[in-house]
Structure 1
Amino acid sequence: MSPSVAPILLLIGSNVFMTFAWYGHLKYPDRPLLMVILLSWAIALFEYCLAVPANRIGHAVYATAELKVMQEVITLCVFAGFSVLYLGERFTINHMVGFALICAGAFFVFKAPIPT
């Protein structure tokens, strides 16, 4: 797999795991907090098993800032889908505008430096 594509796919996978680790328990507020913490740690282990190689492979192709911004944009996309599909929450125009502004920031990170 291409070193420019592999990090993207690994980051998508890692973000799915991390989103479930951080927010999946919100659907089950009656579960004991200690159980939720331990389960979240177990899920997060899989997230790290994908995120660390994503950054290691990606660093050969992308700058560290590009990897971080890529991860943030992927996180927003995964989270938006998760909150709507799993938690049943609404995705409003305010969310879309906020996410679009973050994506605009990502554009400038990937764009060649602006001449001064």
Structure 2
Amino acid sequence: MIPSERTYNYKVELLLSRSHVLKYNNSPKDDIVNWLFAHIGNSKYGFVYKIEEVESASFEQPFLADASFLAIEFVTGLLKVGDTYEVSRGEEQIGSLKIVEIL
């Protein structure tokens, strides 16, 4: 797990499917991996996320989170409010990320 004490750059809406490595009864808050990859253009950029309403977040339902991109200097000019990007956990495609607000 990457430390969550960091500067968050974006408010995002995540829509995630349960990864095949997680138990059936898990919810997003139970996942010890708090970083994923956003597919932006032809590249993947890692980001750490912090769920806003932890108890109500569930798989297959959109939820709000704050996102901190690990290579913020590269993605700042690429990410646009309202745009949606594919999300993966390693090589596994697990959902999407929509930019809601720049923080």
Larger strand fraction of residues: 2
Structure with higher RCO (Cα < 8 A, 6+ apart): 2
- TM-score, length basis structure 2: 0.24
Structure with greater helix share of residues: 1
